[in-house]
Homo-oligomer: A and B are copies of this chain.
Amino acid sequence: MHEAADTARKSIGARRNPDSCVAILEAAEAVLAEAGYAGFSIEAVARRARAGKPTIYRWWPSKAALLLEVYQRQKRVAVPDTGNLEEDLVGFLQNLFAHWRDTSSGNVFRSLIAEAQSDRHASAALADYTGGRRAHTGQMVERAKARGEVALDVDAAVVADLIASFAWRHLLTDRLDEDEVTIRAAVRYVVHGISRDRM
């Protein structure tokens, strides 16, 4: 994460300056990491990035848009494939919690959810994003279905919803340090409930 040079960035002609773009995204991430959502303001990002406010507003029409891009820039969480749904889901949640806990991603995503509660653009953007993620997480269930672990009439989207909801609430209530036992219990309750020999 290289720092901005002492010499100010200038315009590079009649087109977007990628340096500024990167500097702003990195500054936004840094501000969120250091001061959290409370300290996240366009002013603070502009100050940190040594950028003008209009430059930010030009490319990101709302705080939400900036937050979303910052979040998407960060590395995705790996979706395990162990051949066993319970292990997959427990692994996924543990990876996700660790990712949220150890990087600024947790703060970014929390902020995005909070922002979505008062800003309709953020709300729409979040709905879009979560729609995509749900399908992604649902693949773990679909694979389990294909393996015969899970009943065929199970709605993978609902299962993905349950798992994602569990993750969200832990994020939003500062419980990302949940122990494996509890995570596994939650996952097992759901996995057992949808297993093939049950339904």
**Interfacial residues, chain A to chain B (CB-CB below 8 A):** 36-38, 110-111, 113-119, 123, 126-127, 130, 154-155, 158-159, 161-162, 164-166, 168-170, 172-174, 182, 185-186, 188-194, 198-199
Instruction: Identify which of B123, B127, B155, B194 contacts A182 (C-beta below 8 A).
Output: B155
Chain B residues lying within 8 Å of A38, measured Cβ to Cβ, are 118-119
Chain B residues lying within 8 Å of A190, measured Cβ to Cβ, are 162, 189-190, 193
Let me know if B169 and A164 touch, CB within 8 A.
yes
The majority secondary structure among interface residues of chain A is helix
Let me know if A172 and B37 touch, CB within 8 A.
no
Could you jot down 11 A-B contacts, CB within 8 Å? Answer: A114-B115, A116-B172, A127-B173, A161-B166, A162-B162, A164-B169, A165-B169, A192-B194, A192-B198, A192-B199, A198-B198
A1 to chain B minimum Cβ distance, whole angstroms, is 23
Q: How far is the CA of A158 from the CA of B172 in the complex (A)?
A: 16
The residue in A127, A161, A191, A199 that gathers the most chain B C-beta atoms within 10 A of its C-beta is A161
